[in-house]
Each structure stands twice: as C-alpha cells, then as structure tokens.
Amino acid sequence: MKKSGVKKSVLVTGAAILVIFAMGCILPAFADTVKFGHVAPPFHGQAKGVDAFADYVKEKTNGEIDIATFPAGQLGGERSMAEQVQAGTLQIAALTTAVLQNFVPQCAILDMPFIFPDRETAYATLDDLEVQEKIFSFFPKKGFIAIGWTENEIRDFTNNKRPVRTPDDIKGLKVRVMNSPAYLDTFKQLGASPVAIPFPETYNALQTGVIDAQENPILTSILMKFTEVTKYVTRTQHCLTECVIVVSVDYWESLTKEQQKIFREAADLCIKTNRTVNAALHESLPKINLSIDEYAKANDIDIIYLTPEEREVFRVAMTPVWDKYREKIGDDLFDFVLDKIAAHKQ
C-alpha cells in the first residue's frame, strides 16, 4: 500500500509540474510587473524621462505591460544593475557608458574627453540613427539589448584652490572622479591625482581637504552642495554623462515585434523628456527658483566659461587618452563617430 501511495504521489507531482510547465509556455515571460532601474534622483530629468517611458509603454500596450521605475539606485549601484540585466533578473536599466564600458568596451567612445564641441552637436550625433545602430550593435553579445539613451548631464570641474582655464591649472590637484578607466586616465593625463572615492563621500572629502576638486555636471554640484566647499567652477563640459537604456535579452525576446517597436518609441520619448527637464532645471533650480547663474552670483561662486580656443587647448591635451582608447574601441568605430560629430557640428 505504501508503494502504491508513493507512485500516486509521484504521478500527481509529475502532472502538476507538467501543468505548470505548460502554463509557463503560454503565459508571457515576466508576468509580474517589469522593473526599470537607474540612479538619478526623482526630480532629475533622467528620472522624469524614465517615468515617461513607463507611462508610454503602459498606454500603448493597453496596460498589458506595466513598468515600475526605481530611481536613486534603489535596485543597486550601476554595476550591480548591469549584472542583473545580464542575468535576466532585472528587465530594464539606464546605465552610464562609464560603467557599461567595463562590459562593452566600445561604448567608451562616448566618454572620450572633449570629443563633443558643444551640447547641440552631441545631441545631434547621438540622435543619428546610424550612430545608435553602430554603437548598439556591440551590446547583444554581452547580454544586453540597447534601445536608447538617457543622460545625467555634461560634466564640469570645481575646485577650492584656483581658477582653472588651462590644462596646467589642473596639475597637482587631487580630484574625485567616477570609478571609470576613461575618467581616471583623463585626469592623470592632465597631471592631477585622480581619486575614485564613492560619490556620497565627495562633500566631506572636499570639506576636510582629502581632495581639492571634483568633476560633475554643475547642476549636480549645486544640488549636492559641492559648490559650498569649492569656490571655483569651470564649465569645462569635458564629458557627456550619457546612459544607455539596456534590456535583458530574455525579456526582449519575450516581447512581440509590435511591443519592441513601442519600447523603442518610448526610449525616444524618454531622452526628449530627459533633456527638456534638465534644461528647465538649469533655469530654475529645485526649491531655489533661481537659474544656475543667478544662484552662483547670489552665493559668490566664481563660474568660468571657457572660450572655444581654451576648449581646443584641452582637447589637444587629451590626444594621448584618445590614442590609448583607439586600441580598445577600434579605428573603425572611433573614426566613424568622429566623422559623425564633424558632420553634425553646429
């Protein structure tokens, strides 16, 4: 009797597994809410763009796909989220190329210092579908499907020692940079001592003299109060902190062609929203209601705007960095992007 009971139990369990398996074959993958992670704070243009992405997808799929957005690193740091997307445990994330270059070396092309002459040229280049197709083609083999952009902002330089107008002015300064090979190499080439300390520790490090300087978009520097402990701000605009919207391969392949089209349209809306909100924040800082220039004047912050000629001196100084990364990125992609930048130069 006991053996018969065991056999019946095995048969029932086996049948249950078959039913569950069969249901799994007909139900869409990730039937639960889809997660979209990033590290920007909720008020930032990047967060608003991601929210617009989620709203668009829900509307266009008639609620079939409901995307929950997780700002401010709620799902982990960028490297962790990249690994989660690779593993398929996180469906979507917006991650900086500075971090993604550790997985997809070719995207380091966008982190080359002073590669973009101005914001308008950068945007025109990134919106070029041929540029997107070329750069995004390297992602699937690394476990990502790249479908569009978000951005933090264009990066500037603040320090508490002296005004900076030339590469020589940066020599000898201890500078906090992102933990990215391209960023570390950039400031080493400028003769600084780059330190990859965690972002949350930046204010205290400046205040206590552990570092002399830091590089972040001026919007970030003001909102994080770095300008309270660094008197001099230079609008170097040396790098655009561009992020790629990446989707896990398994989740992407579970979508229909029409749904994939909707996701790409949502990505286009995302970056447009992102840029619009960031531009508005420059004109009216959150909770302060002053433009960046008005805030600087009211708080005795010295902002230096580089002339085109001064920016060119910095760009030429970056030649060794460009040469080093050509080997990793490849001449074909490097020259392709340079040609596109030249074609789109305003």
Domains of the chain: residue spans and CATH: 30-152+242-282 (3.40.190.170), 156-239+288-329 (3.40.190.170)
Q: Which two tokens stand for residue 140?
A: 């699937």
pTM, 2 dp: 0.87
pLDDT at 223: 87
Q: pLDDT tens digits for 81-131?
A: 999 999 999 999 999 999 999 999 999 999 999 999 999 999 999 999 999
Q: Which two tokens stand for residue 123?
A: 């945007």
pLDDT at 199: 85
Closest CA to 42 of 76, 81, 77, 70: 70
Rounded distance between C-alpha atoms, residue 198 and residue 185, angstroms = 18
Tell me the pairing of strands 213-216 and 174-176: parallel
Q: With 0-12 CB in 10 A as exposed, 13-18 as middle and 19+ as buried, what is 134?
A: middle
pLDDT at 274: 98
Residues of the chain short of pLDDT 70, as ranges, are 1-32
CA angle (242 as vertex; 131, 159 as ends), nearest 5: 140
Closest CA to 274 of 191, 217, 337: 217
pLDDT at 287: 86
Q: With 0-12 CB in 10 A as exposed, 13-18 as middle and 19+ as buried, what is 184?
A: middle
Tell me the pairing of strands 92-96 and 193-195: unpaired
Rounded distance between C-alpha atoms, residue 333 and residue 169, angstroms = 32
- Local structure of 179: helix, strand or coil: coil
| Single-letter residue type at 249 | V
φ, ψ at 317 (rounded to 5°): -65, -20
Q: What does each C-alpha distance from 53 to 28, 107, 173, 197, 345 come to in angstroms?
A: 21, 23, 41, 32, 29
Note whether 175 and 187 are within 8 A (CB). yes
